Amino acid sequence: MSVVRGAAAEASPTSAQRGPTTPEAGDASATTNTISGVAGQAINLENEHIAHTYSPLPVVVASAEGAWVTDVDGRRYLDCLAAYSAVNFGHGHPLLVDAAKKQLDRVTLTSRAFHNDQLGPFVTALARLAGKDMVIPMNTGAEAVESGIKLARAWGYRVKGVAANLANIIVADGNFHGRTTTIVSFSDDPTATTDFGPFTPGFRSVPYGDAAAIEAAIDENTVAVLLEPIQGEAGIIVPPAAYLPAVREITTRNNVLFIADEIQSGLGRTGATFQCDNVGVVPDLYLLGKALGGGIVPVSAVVGNVDVVGVLHSGEHGSTFGGNPLAAAVGRAVISLLETGEYQQRSRVMGERLTTGLERLVGCGVVAVRSAGLWAGIDIDPALASGRGVCELLMSRGVLAKDTHGSTIRFAPPIVISAEDIDFAVDQLEAVLRELRA
């Protein structure tokens, strides 16, 4: 992990098949309106009937393999987002696809009203990977967070002895844990909160990275501290190295659960199975998702020990699709990849290459870089362009990335990315910045 600052150096751009030309950096509507042909038809059809809750880049993906995607016109792009870490192991990983295909021919859904032969092996493997006892299988990341909140409250009332309906959970400023009504209740992003109240009570927000603020906020009714080990949507905000160990000590001493939302940071993204591993911390609960489904099906989970997870009783929580045979089969295959340690190691090595490449751009259009494994937040000089504008120009050069919070862009390519492709991505960013400075 690092915050990188340094002088920029020149690099020779490599060649790749380019995406469509972008007219005005930062002008999403202008970009979309200029797309014609098959791509334009697909975008127009989508826009006619879909709720406009996203503003995607105007590329229409038709197929993908490894770290590359191909659009409807045959143009190839390097995927430097990996579906927010859901595609950690690359598009169409043979082992994961094979597991899904085999299960599709057997049974895909039974509901939890019955047992299935895939769920037991899946939860056993996941508990072993996390070093915990029990698993609550769900589908989406937001469901895992909601489940963790319910579980923490139940533990607080049934084990800690908090009086009914008084439990509170401490969260961090700048957090992003999902978009359900309870989760946005403790967001400080106006986009997440405006016109969506009234909000769920029971949350206290303190500055991220400040362990002393957490301790000061704890009272007799505090049941949990819920944190992202690295804040993803906020721009890959890496806290001080001592932060999570201090939070672990404070929560243990105060009989408060420590819940780590590793939905984006976990499962190989930061060079370890969990980002908590990188700082020597074991939380009471892991919240997992995204990469757990291998980029094939939505799979999420809450993982913890029996003294916490065991407080829930039959009928108090559930999901029709949670723990379904197809999801369990794919999840088991994902775990088998992680158990080798190969992907964690690759993320560390390739991440060092990515960080080194980005470091040379600081001072030449890049203000700062924050990174952990193959995950980087890149602050663009706002005097040059918005983050969206830079992403549009990168798209025109065959690289797909995502902006956040105005002038920050994120690189989070699949862990299977090659060294040459990392160099290509950095070279294209350098070329975009050179063009903007000209």
Catalytic site positions:
176, 261, 290
Using DSSP, state whether 370 is helix, strand or coil.
strand
Instruction: Provide Rg for the chain, Cα atoms.
Output: 22
Distance CA 262, CA 264 (A): 5
The dihedral through the CA atoms of 95, 101, 102, 106 has a sign that is positive
Residue 435 has which token pair? Answer: 């063009």
Q: Which two tokens stand for residue 12?
A: 């020779």
**Chain centre to alpha carbon of residue 226:** 16
SS3 350: helix
Give 70's strand partners: 63, 76
Question: Which run of H or of E encompasses 336?
Answer: helix 325-339
Beta strand 134-138 pairing with 168-172: unpaired
What DSSP character marks residue 291? G
Beta strands per DSSP E along 148-232:
168-172, 203-206, 222-227
Give the integer Cα–Cα distance in Å for 86 and 91: 10
Q: How far apart are CA 93 and CA 67, in angstroms?
A: 10
Euclidean distance between CA atoms 149 and 45, whole angstroms? 39
DSSP state of 15: P
Nearest to 85 by CA among 351, 415, 379, 419: 415
Residue 240 is classified by DSSP as P
3-state secondary structure of 144: helix
Contacts of residue 423, defined as CB under 8 A and 6 or more positions apart, other chains included, come to 11, 14, 353, 357
